[in-house]
Structures are given as structure tokens and as C-alpha cells.
Structure 1
């Protein structure tokens, strides 16, 4: 009976043991099957490094901030320190230290926590950090042990140590010893001394607690423990240990916040370009080395300029009701005109993710006019001296008088009469731009703009009657980067080059995987590019862009302000750099604030202040006139060669063969006549002095010439005063005075379409009759004042004769 009982007990025990063992083995097998495969492991993710044009690190893109370094670049002191404090039997075990596990297990029992100490080897830590979670469970420990064995089977000890030293987290955002070395000491890992190596080696156990940035005393204490352990294992001598233990921390950290603020939007732009080409996984994990076009010196100057304008209140600051960003926003971008390289980029006044330099599509206003003028030079047969009549055009006709209107209107409702293309662009005349596009066709302007890289034009922008395109009235708008790129073609002798930010990209093995080859194409002749540049230079020297002048250096550019002041621009260039400045609110709200109205003047001032500093040390290279371009003295009112009586001479460039060859015959000797302003007839001695004015006429033709001003105003009782059509026609000295409609300012024309000029009357004033009209030496003042007044009158007349060459 006893033998039978013993047999049953033994069988039961064996069954239970077999079942338990099977269950354990099954569980372990299941856990192992659930463990990641490491056969294709090639190391953890690495940060992508972005450098400026001088090779200085600009920023990093990473999932984990890691810069991989080979084992031969890691100093022996650091390798020994890690082994001494983390795994003294590293070169002996096969991934698992069983004695260490036993020791840790006993310690855990004594502490009452079976999961407290893990006794993980370097190989196990690598397995855990690379593939597993940090949860302290036996499930994870089994996986960790299995993976450690696999690592030891597949890799050498040197490969494991190299992977470990590049994998471990060492506090803050640093992964791997190279990143930690740069983060804490501002130097590469191969330059670490013994004390610094020991400090980094002490971090893996508790990176945040032992961080020298957070707890310097604890960091030193931990460092000294490492040094003691190294001494115990004969890695260092007593003298070396004592010297290292007495060393100060000597931290040299990089101010991360300051670096991240510099070129923030440029970094976003580069990131987007990289993701489009290589994908997000490669960009954030692949350890790419990206060399860019950014000029950090110019970038800092641009940011300084914009920040100072904001701080001083030159650019107002208002909190947006629809977002956290301050308004109005500012964008600035500079390109190298010769190769399209982006040298500076500001995409806003903050660090948000919306990069206005290339993502904001905004109305360009008059900054779009150079595209119209260029198309006129190329396709329309126009020259810089072609004459356009700057007087109002009727926008609509109707039987009802109150529906008549004029379009477009010039800024300030000021009109100049006969002007050439150079004057028109210099003063940003709306009438001239619309007349040009009407003549040459919208299609030609759209086609040329697209050749300049403007990609935001829509099908409706090309409609035949879309004349507002000439004034920057696009259905969508343009981006600052494309405006800068378009103007670059004017500066680069008619050659358009795609803007680019990346020059070269290397993979983590230093293999070149991308090199920029920006596309270039001739979009206009060198001569035409010089002509438009000459006119845009006049904008800066004599017109709306005067705030952008740079001493002793040629500058060309154009202002632009949209209706209701929603967008303000200045786009301009020197022979080396093209820069676009835009100001506007994200919500397209008007910038007519109580404190000030922001317009193109503010954009031009930012452009000028920045560019004067940016090009200061660049060689002075002014715009070079091509051999097939000549300069000619022309009369601005006829577009012909000037004669001895021409009141003003414009020296303008022409392509050879397009210059005028005939002398103008409009101007000749001038006579001064006194006219009664009320009757419009020759004044008599009876006309009141306040009604008498001197008018100037060309003797031979009798055509009246300026200077004078004429006003027109609509007469319509059904409209409010503010709605009435009105304006001023300013006639410059020597310009023929045109007859205009008194209500709408529209010029009266002859049957052949030419303007009708005012001419000298021979009729004597019938409101104040007298025997003879006043002569040049007569006046209506009292006898006692007649001599002095006559002398003054003669003096004025002589001055006019001198101007017009009447001797």
C-alpha cells in the first residue's frame, strides 16, 4: 500500500512538473515568438542635420536627437567608463550576465520588490532601448534576454558597443554620446577629456537626475563614482582619477531657444522640400546631412531689421481675434539673382507653421506692373520713350448720366497727360498700365508672367477683358518667393532660375544622394531686361521707391499697395541680390489703423534698411548696359528726338534700331499772354487783377503749354459728394494742354484720335471790354505799382524764354 501511494505521488509530481515545465516553455516560446526580429537591424534613427551656406549647423530634424559616430571616433576613456559602470563583464558574457541576475534577484527579495533591479548587460540595454518598452515586467525581461543573445550571435562586441553608445538616452533631448557631448560640452565626442567622459558615462542609469544642467552636484557625485570604478578596474591611474575628480564641469551649452528662432521659416521650407523628395521617415530618422543656401549673416540682418521695426512701432502690433499670431504679418525673402539661391527667408513674425514667404498667396498691387511693361517691350513694340495719354477713360456708357464712370483711377485722382513709359512706371500710373494691357493683350502678360515663374495665375486671369491684371488684380494672387524670383530675371540679364534652398544632401554614410541643379531659361533678351531695369531704377531714384536708395549702388524695384491697404509690397534688386518684402494681415483685413496706415512705404523702408546692411560688404557692381542698347535725348511729350526748344529732355535707353530718328516739331518759341480766367479770352486793362493769369503758347502753332492745372468734377445730384467722379489734371512745363471733359476729365480728340489741344484765342474779353488786350508789359495794378510789377512780369517771361530757348 505504501509503495502504491509513493508511486501515485511520484507520478503526480512528474505530471505536475511536466505540465509546469511545458507551460513555462510554452509561455517562453510564445513570448519569444512575439519578440521583434533583429536580423535587419541597422541602428536606431538619426537626426538630420541642416547646415547653412558656410557649413555651420543651422538646425536638426529628428524623432530622436541623435548623431551617429563610429566607434573609432569615441575615446577609449568613454568606452572604458561605460563598461566599468554599466557592464564590467561585457567582453566575457554572451549577452546575459547570470551571476549579475542572481545577485540582483537576491537583492530584490531582500527589498521586497522582485522587479527593482534588473542587472541588464550593455547588450540587454541595447535590445531594450532599440526594440522594447521600458516597462519592468518579466515578460519584457524574457524578451530582453532573448534579444541580447541574438545580438551577440549576429554582431561583434565592437559593433554592439558602437550601437549602444549611439543609442542610449543621455538626458534632455540627447540620444547617443555625440549629441550628449555637443549638448553638455559644446564639443564633438572625440575631444572629451577623462572627466567629461566619466560624466557622460554616469548618465544612462538616470539621465534626468544626473544631468549637469539640472543637478550639477549629483552629476559630479555620479561622475566620481564612475572614476572610482575605472580606477578599481585599472582603466586609469590614481593620479588620473584624482585629477579628473577635481575637474570643474566647464559646461558649454548651446542656447537652443536662440538657435531655433534663427531662420525658423527657412528650416520649415527646407524640411518640406526634403519630405517631398525623401519622405518623412528618412528626414526624421535617416541622419541626412543637408547643405543649404542660407547666408546666416544676411538672415540675422533681416531678422534684426524686421524685429526693430516691430519693436519701435513702425510696424504696428495687434492681436488677431481669430488666432494667436500678432498682426500685421511680415515676410522677407532674398535670392541670389545669378543662381536662384535663397539667402534669407522670413515667413512671419513668430514661429508658427505657416510660412508666408512661399505659402501666402496675396494680391501684388502695382508690384505686378513690371510684368505688363516687360510684355509691352517684348511683344508690343513699345520703347521706354513711347508716349501714353494719362487722362481718364470712360468705364461704361448708358443713357442714364448717373451710371457713367471712369476706370481705372490714378492714386490721389491725379492725372499727368502726355507721359512716356519711363515716367509712367516711375510714378506707378494706373491709366498707363491698363492702356498697355489693352493694347498688347492680357494673354501676352499672362504668358510672360508664367515664364517668370508665377505659378498662381488662374484660367480666369487670362480672360481677354481682365484688364485689372495690369494693376495686380489677380484672382488668387502671388507669393513673395515667386515675386522675388521673377524680379531676379530682370537683374540676371533676362535669365530666370528656379529658386532653391538645398545645394547637397548626403546620407548617414556620407554618400551624396542629391545635388541641386536648378533649371534656368532665357525669358527675355538682355536688352529688354536692361530696359525694364532702367525704368525700375527710375522708380527708386525719382519715384515711389525712393526709400530704398543705396549710396553709390544701383537699385531697381517697385512698390505695391492694394485697395483698402490689405497688402503692401516692395520688390527690388541690386545686381547681386533680389529681395521681396510683403506686409499684410493673415485675414486680409485693412491695415488702416488708428495709429497709422501701413502701405508700400513701410515695405520699402524695411527693404532699404535691410539691403543697405546686407550688401554693405559686397563689391559694387552696377547695372551694365548691353552693347545693343544706346541712350538717346528725347522729348518726353512726343517721344521724338529733342530740339532746341524742347522744355525737358529725358535721356532714355533704347534697343538699337528702335530709337527715334526724327526731331520733334511740336515745340518752338514761346509767347506769354494774359487771359481772363472767367471768359477765357484775352484780358484787358479792365479785367479784375484776380481774374487775370499768364498763359504760355507756342508761337507758330498757338498751342497752349504748361505749367497749369485743370480740375474736373462730375455734376450729378443723385450721388453723394464722395461718390462723384473728380480729379486733377496737372500739366507740366512745356507740355501741351489738352481739352478735357469738365465732369469726367476724358480728353477730347480729333477725328483721327489725336488729342485736341487748347490754342491761343484772338478774341478780347467781352466781360470787361477795352480797346486793346493787355500786352506783356501791361498790368492792372495801380499806377504807383506798375513799374515794379512790370519788372517782375518781365523776369518771369525771360525765365520761360530761357527754358524754351526763345532768344
Structure 2
């Protein structure tokens, strides 16, 4: 056999050497890269970014926070047709290969060698895409591609096919902040995966390749091209569907549209409070960890609060007449309704008031175009409340507001009414008086118009609604509802010689009068005299027991007229002490927090008012946790309500209240601390019930309940209007005012501007709620003299008896009308 030429032998030897060196180099590179590959087992416990869900107390969705829309779904819950659409689009041999499709790689290499393109299709399996999505960056290089392939093979060795496919479906980006196929189905079609049709499944399967520039919303033409000319034919070729099914799906026009997950309970101010509180507790990334937060909000009461505020502010605003629209747009001469509607693109609806552009007016009324392009004519019935003619209401190009006049009739054709956004703002806070749980909150007329939460962030002067706190302090100093105080002019001078002459709103004076009547009639001068008698510093220290910061209470006699700057929430908390028997409860609104797996990470255990159980325990059980002793700042607010050593009144002279039956304590209960003596709380309850029966809040008698009480409040120049009160298990505060501190208008007192909102809300809140127990607590005595009946603390009986015997009968009402100014 002839010997090979020397040159050929050298060439062969050199080739083999190079091949061996190349193989060694590749092996070393592979070994080096493999040693640095991440642990794919971490994929089994990886936490995908998922929004934070906020729910009302009944589990209905109230808010959704997070940059990404993602609702992770188990692969077994993805319908087979949806799975096959993605397999046809991305990797038909997914269940046959071991992470790398060598046919696809060969095709990609051929294209690289025969074309000038640096990026070529093919070569990336679903497994490789998962490796890239979870572990690698977007760098385009051969080294990154090799790492991707090695990692894909490692994943195939250690993870199941369904696990990998599920990771792909949940991680992929579909455009418009939608991550994962479930979120994409909901956003583009408003459907669950099980509800998707074949054309919709194919449309979504074609989206991850071009999520921003080829999604069905932003570029339906490009998406349809991929659906009709690649995915559906390939599904048919692979036997996933029939040719007829493919043709039928192609015939369906593109119909994707944005579908935000529906909010079932409208409480945006509370939802934002939850977001802030969750960030404070769990960190800034809380909105991407899939927490499920259940709140204390009652959906029925929240809806009632929203309606009460909207109706009340509309009535208030209409009292002050129509205002000329303050915004105009330029309407092109040839603009059609849709072009006009686009002029409202950045004008949100507020409080049920929709924006509209006036296009003309005439004898038939005002013609407007709504944001959806529909044209409406507002006739005399729609504009009658304004007292203006159609031509005087608005001109072409004016932006006005309209609302549905028959919104309470579902299914009926809309009957539009012209309206306007009120200049005033409002806040409503409703708490469970015994636990402090927030049941409803409205922080303003419209969250879309202004996100400032006036219920928790606005500090305003409460006016006369502050007086019950002052009266409570006076009762602790020896005064009581039957005490006589002079309602007469008084002048105070400071060291600099300045004088202060407080006045009653009526301008007259009633002379000597009982403290009860002074609160019912809201007499300012009596409040001033009481504060002067007990001392300002004492009053500040005592009133702080209602939860107010002492440094925020004015250190002078003006405090008696409600000049402290307080939030509506803090006022509601203070009133809860009157309603629950003297306990200080802390407002709370997050009931529980669950992580994405459904495990509890937090559950509230609120401190609860419990007059009959604070000193009793079940046999063999530990006593309930008491947050604070009953002695506060030197004041003894014993749970039993009595005062040790107090002399019992003569049996023939009075009726003595009896201790209430004690009940066993749940050892898990946390008993709230005492704020005030329960007897003082009951006395103020009784007096505020009289405010409703015959004082400045008689309109609330329409509720038809004996356990309803409260106090109106207004400030100088009618800048603020308040009503705070209680009924059944709830304590509720309503504030009305303007953000710029301007006047609400002439005679806009608390009983006129705020009380109607309170009544409207409480009509719903008190439905089917049993009446509150009105029996006085232990340690009280009923005193009768000169036709006057009062329940007093037993230690006050002897001191007051002489006053009662000498006092003329004052059951008759004074001639002047009872007003509330401060």
C-alpha cells in the first residue's frame, strides 16, 4: 500500500491536532460555564412579581396596586388549546427535545452562514427562553447563547416539562404591563383562560415575540398577520386543530380592548391608606409580592357613605346657584362628535359627574358631546335647577358636567342632568364604637379630582362639636348636667391689656341655666365659663385622654369654642369613648394580610371596649389582656364605674343604678384602656341624645331611634361645618368645608351642611341594628327636684341637691331658636 505523501500526512495530523485542541477548548469552556450556572432548583421557589390585592371585609376587590399585571396560574389550569397555541408558536417539539432543539440550532447556524443578518429566527426553545427570562440578560453574543443552551439542558435534567412550561406562561411579557398568560387574557379580553376562544388564544400566543410593538391593542395588524399566517396554520399542520377550525378562527376580526380588573367596592381613599400602611410595615416592594389584604370596610356602608356625600354636596352646591364654566376648548369647524370627544381625553369623571363639551344651545336646550362621542340635548328638565336659560348657561366650547338623573334605575335609558363640581369638600368617617374598626371612609368629593384625604390629613377647627370633650372634663371636676352656669356677657383681659368678648350666635343671653340645656342650645358663653372654672391646663390634660395630642390643644380659653385643629378621624375616635362607655379605642382598617400562598402573615387583634368584662375571667382561664390600667394621669376610671367610699344616697330620696351582670372574658380579648369615667360617658350620651331630640340636630329625629345622639359644629364665618354622633354600634363624623378656608356661605351651619349627610348615611348603617343599651352604669343616682330628673354620680348628689331645690322649673324651651355657631 503506497504511503501518503508527507504533505498530506502533515495536513491530516495538523487537522486532528486542531480538532483535539478545539474539542479540549470547548470542553474546558463548557466545564467552566457549567460550573458557574445558577441553581435551577431555585425556580421551584421563585417569587414572581405580583400585585397587591386589597379587599373589603366580605372579600370583594377594593384595590389593586403594582406596576405589573400578573396572576400566576398552575399549568394544569391552562386549557389544552391555549397550551397548544403557544407550543405551535414557539416550540412544537418542546415535549420531545432535552432543552435544545438541534434541528432549530442547525437551521439558525445555516441562516447565520448564508445571510448577513446577525439575528436569525429559530434555535431558542421554550426552555431556553425560560433560562433567559429568569437567569440571563439580553446581551446578544455566542457566549451568552452557549450559557443559555447549557442552562436549558440543566433545567431539563432537574425540572419537569410541565414545570418549565408553566414558568414560561407565567413569566412572558404580553405588553401593556401584562405579565403571564392569565393577566394577558384578562387585560385584552376580560376573560379567564378557560373562556378564551381559539382566535383569542392564537392572538395571545403570537404576542410575546413582539410584546410592545405587536400586541393586539397597539398593533392589531401585525399581530393578526402572525396569527393568521403562522400560528393557526401551524396548529392545523401539527394536528392540534382541524383546517376548518383554523379558517373559522382566521375569519374572526381582531377585537382586543383594555380590560382593567374590575373594582367591586369603590373606596379609593381607603385603598390608598392600605397601600401606605403596607409599605410602612413591609417595605417599598410590598406592591410586587402578591399580598392579599383584607380590610374592615363594610361594602354596604361604604356605598351608603359615597351616596350620602355625593347627594349632600349636590344639595349644598345647588343652594348657591350655577357658576359659569371655568374651562373652554377650541372646537374645529369640521369636527365630528368623536373628534370633539377626544378633547376630553384627559378630563376624568368626578363623583359621578361626567365631562361634556357644549356644542350649541337653543330653544330646545343645551347640546353637549360626552367623552364616548354620544351627543345629548339637555332640556328644561335637565337644567331647571340652575334657574338659567339655555343660552345663559354655557357657550359653544365650554366644558360642563352632566350626571345620570335616573342612575338608581338600572337598565333604564340615561336621563342626563347638567351639574357642576362643588367648590366645597367633605369627609366622612364611620367607626365601630367598640373596636375602632373603620367601616366606611370618604376623604373628599372625588378621589379622581384630588387625592388629598381630608378624613385623615386635613386638620380643621371642630367648633361646637368639640364641646362634649370640654363638658366631660368639667364633669370630672364636679360639674354635672344639672349644674347651674350663668349664660351672660363676660370679658377676659390678657396681660397686654387685650380684651376678648365671646358671644352667643343668637346675640342674646339666657341667664342662669343648666349645663344640659347649655349643650343642647350650644351656648358658647357657658362653655367659656366652664373652661375658666376648671382651668385650661387641667382641661388639656384631661381631653388628651380621648386620643388627642395635648400639644395640639390651644393653651387658652379659645379652646372652649373648638379652635383646636383636628382631623375628622381623630374627632370620630374621641366620640367613640362617649358611645362605648368611656374606653379609648384605636382606629384600624387592616384586618388580615395573607401572602401569595394564602398563609396569614398578619391578623389584627384590636383592643375592645368591654364595660361588663374588664374585671371578670372564665373559670380556669387567664384574664384577658388589659392594654392600660384604669388610672390615667391621676384620674381613676375604674371599670365598675363606682367611686370607692362614695356615700350612698338615702333610699327614699333616689333610685340607684345597679351593676350590670358581668360575663366571662374571652382570654384572647384585648380590653381597651379607659379614657373617661363610664358615668361621665353616659351623661354626655344622654345630653347629646337631647341635642337630637330638641336641640341643633332635630332633623336626625327622622331616624326614629332613642340611641342616636351627637353634636353639630361650625366655625367663624361658616368656614367649617361638622356633625359627629353615634347610633347603634357606630360613631360617625362628617365635615364639610373648603380647601382654601373660604366661607361655605351664609348660615351654612353644621346642622345644615353636614348633618344631612350624616343622616343619609346612618339611615343605611342603622338598618337591622339593635338599639344600644341606654341604662346608666353602676355608681349613679337618679335625682328629682322641681320637675327636673337627672342621673348623677353618687358623690355629686349632695352637692347638687341644694342647687336643684332652688332652681326654677326650666323644662319650657327658650323663645329664641337654638343655633350652633362654634
TM-score by length of 2: 0.67
Partner Cα separation in structure 1 for residue 319 and residue 267 of structure 2: 20
* 1:333 aligns with one of 406, 411, 429: 429
* 1:128 aligns with one of 124, 129, 132: 132
Kept after mapping to 2: 8 A contact 1:547/1:608: no
Task: Output aligned runs, 1:390-409, within 5 Å.
Answer: 390-396=487-493, 405-409=499-503
User: Per-residue deviation at 1:55?
Assistant: 0.7
Task: Output aligned runs, 1:581-620, within 5 Å.
Answer: 581-586=734-739, 589-592=740-743, 599-601=749-751, 603-615=753-765, 617-620=767-770
What is the aligned partner in structure 2 of residue 560 from structure 1? 713
Kept after mapping to 1: 8 A contact 2:61/2:265: no
Kept after mapping to 2: 8 A contact 1:549/1:608: no
Matched position secondary structure for 2:272: helix
Kept after mapping to 1: 8 A contact 2:84/2:235: yes
Partner Cα separation in structure 1 for residue 155 and residue 737 of structure 2: 58
Task: Output aligned runs, 1:182-261, within 5 Å.
Answer: 182-189=186-193, 197-207=201-211, 211=215, 226-236=231-241, 254=259, 259=263
Which string of whole-angstrom CA distances, capped at 9 and with x for unpartnered residues, describes residues 477-515 of structure 1?
222222212212222222332211111111111111111
Matched position secondary structure for 1:572: strand
Kept after mapping to 2: 8 A contact 1:288/1:506: yes
Cα distance change of structure 1 residues 114 and 397 upon mapping to structure 2, 3 Å threshold: closer
Q: Which moved more, 1:508-517 or 1:519-528?
A: 519-528
Kept after mapping to 2: 8 A contact 1:212/1:219: yes
Partner Cα separation in structure 2 for residue 457 and residue 357 of structure 1: 20
Q: Does residue 1:389 correspond to 2:486, yes or no? A: yes
Structure 1, gaps ≥5 residues long: 635-640, 643-648, 669-704, 708-729, 734-807
Partner Cα separation in structure 2 for residue 120 and residue 596 of structure 1: 75
User: Per-residue deviation at 1:338?
Assistant: 3.0
* 1:347 aligns with one of 443, 454, 462: 443
Partner Cα separation in structure 2 for residue 103 and residue 503 of structure 1: 58
Kept after mapping to 1: 8 A contact 2:783/2:789: yes
Q: Does residue 1:496 correspond to 2:584, yes or no? A: yes
* 1:301 aligns with one of 301, 304, 307: 304
What is the aligned partner in structure 2 of residue 470 from structure 1? 560
Cα distance change of structure 1 residues 394 and 504 upon mapping to structure 2, 3 Å threshold: same
Q: Which moved more, 1:65-74 or 1:236-245?
A: 236-245
Partner Cα separation in structure 2 for residue 18 and residue 561 of structure 1: 94
Partner Cα separation in structure 1 for residue 455 and residue 211 of structure 2: 40
Task: Output aligned runs, 1:279-678, within 5 Å.
Answer: 279-281=283-285, 283-311=286-314, 313-314=317-318, 328-348=424-444, 349-351=446-448, 352-377=450-475, 379-396=476-493, 405-454=499-548, 456-458=549-551, 461=553, 466-474=556-564, 477-520=565-608, 521=672, 522-553=674-705, 554-586=707-739, 589-592=740-743, 599-601=749-751, 603-615=753-765, 617-622=767-772, 624-626=774-776, 628=778, 641-642=785-786, 651-655=789-793, 658=796, 664-665=805-806, 667=808
Q: Aligned residues, how many?
A: 643
User: Per-residue deviation at 1:247?
Assistant: 7.8
Structure 2, gaps ≥5 residues long: 328-347, 351-420, 609-671, 817-822
Partner Cα separation in structure 1 for residue 153 and residue 119 of structure 2: 21
Kept after mapping to 2: 8 A contact 1:384/1:652: yes
Q: Which moved more, 1:132-141 or 1:606-615?
A: 132-141
Kept after mapping to 1: 8 A contact 2:85/2:235: yes
What is the aligned partner in structure 2 of residue 180 from structure 1? 184
Matched position secondary structure for 1:513: strand
State the structure with more CA Rg: 1
* 1:61 aligns with one of 48, 60, 65: 65
User: Per-residue deviation at 1:227?
Assistant: 4.8
Matched position secondary structure for 1:175: coil
User: Per-residue deviation at 1:447?
Assistant: 3.8
TM-score by length of 1: 0.68
Partner Cα separation in structure 1 for residue 591 and residue 801 of structure 2: 50
Partner Cα separation in structure 2 for residue 146 and residue 315 of structure 1: 75
Matched position secondary structure for 1:485: helix
Partner Cα separation in structure 1 for residue 535 and residue 23 of structure 2: 90
Cα distance change of structure 1 residues 666 and 264 upon mapping to structure 2, 3 Å threshold: closer
User: Per-residue deviation at 1:240?
Assistant: 6.8
User: Per-residue deviation at 1:389?
Assistant: 0.7
Partner Cα separation in structure 2 for residue 151 and residue 606 of structure 1: 66
Matched position secondary structure for 2:686: helix
Partner Cα separation in structure 2 for residue 605 and residue 706 of structure 1: 26
Which string of whole-angstrom CA distances, capped at 9 and with x for unpartnered residues, describes residues 80-125 of structure 1?
3322322112223333333223324545677743225354322232
Query: Taking CA–CA contacts closer than 8 Å with sequence separation of 6 or more, which of the two structures ends up with the larger relative contact order?
Result: 2
Kept after mapping to 2: 8 A contact 1:292/1:503: yes
User: Per-residue deviation at 1:651?
Assistant: 4.8
Partner Cα separation in structure 1 for residue 749 and residue 808 of structure 2: 40
Partner Cα separation in structure 2 for residue 142 and residue 599 of structure 1: 77
What is the aligned partner in structure 2 of residue 167 from structure 1? 171
Partner Cα separation in structure 2 for residue 603 and residue 652 of structure 1: 32
Partner Cα separation in structure 2 for residue 221 and residue 365 of structure 1: 68
The RMSD of aligned alpha carbons is 4.5
Cα distance change of structure 1 residues 416 and 597 upon mapping to structure 2, 3 Å threshold: closer
Kept after mapping to 1: 8 A contact 2:50/2:289: yes
